[in-house]
Amino acid sequence: MYPRGASESNVFCMKPDSFFSGLTLNPITPGAKAMQVDFNSDMGESFGAWTIGDGVDNELMAFISSANVATGFHAGDPGTMRRTIEQAKQLGVAIGAHPGFRDLVGFGRRHINAAPQELVDDMLYQLGALRELARVQGVALQHFKPHGALYMHLARDEAAARLLVENLQRLEPELLLYCMPGSVICKIAQELGQPVIREFYADRDYDLSGSIVFTRNVRAHDPAEVAARVV
């Protein structure tokens, strides 16, 4: 797991459909060569009568050390959030908020035009919901990672990214922020002092702008191919 107050690190992620969803390399001390490995995955994506990862979440949780918990706008609901927190606590898995666009039908993968303040209001609403459900169980959030199209929007939109980081500085100045290396939000977080975890997806393709190529046709990757990307 990541130490509170860590200034920056590197995370290599894969989506849940690859089973092991994240491989994080985190320096133990600044300048040290030894690395700590953290497996990270999206979790708690069922809502209402609709289920995703039903049963698989329970199996996968035993193999990871940190989880991004859906917070209700792109997936998840209060009961699913609570149960995910309970399981993570039982297994010693760190949790983070995974807010998305208001897009249950599109699973948060479609861009929605909205003013920066509206987007930040939505993200703080989702963060607060998960934080309070976790607080009831005596669990503190470790990190914050926007989901899908919102993640990519914040990688490019300076106004929204800056407003978000400014608010995180007021609310949770030690909350780790997952972001792409070189992205707008990563640079702003480092500028303002919000600790960042720099990541890329080992099993996803990127376009020339550095954006993740989202597709419904996710092909399975050979483990050697994924390892070669990371190395």
Domains present along the chain, CATH in parentheses: 8-230 (3.20.20.370)
User: 140 versus 54: which is more confidently predicted?
Assistant: 140
Residue 157 near residue 184 (C-beta atoms within 8 A) = yes
In angstroms, the CA 227 to CA 223 distance is: 6
- Mean pLDDT (the chain) is 82
Considering only CA atoms, which of 149, 47, 145 is closest in space to residue 96?
Answer: 145
pLDDT band of residue 65 (cuts 50, 70, 90) is: confident
Residue 49 near residue 74 (C-beta atoms within 8 A) = no
Name the amino acid, one letter, at 128.
Answer: G
pLDDT digits 0-9 by tens, 5-54: 333 444 545 444 433 344 443 434 445 555 666 788 899 988 877 777 66
pLDDT digits 0-9 by tens, 68-83: 999 999 999 999 999 9
Q: Which residues pair with 98 in a beta bridge?
A: 70
Rg (CA), the chain: 16
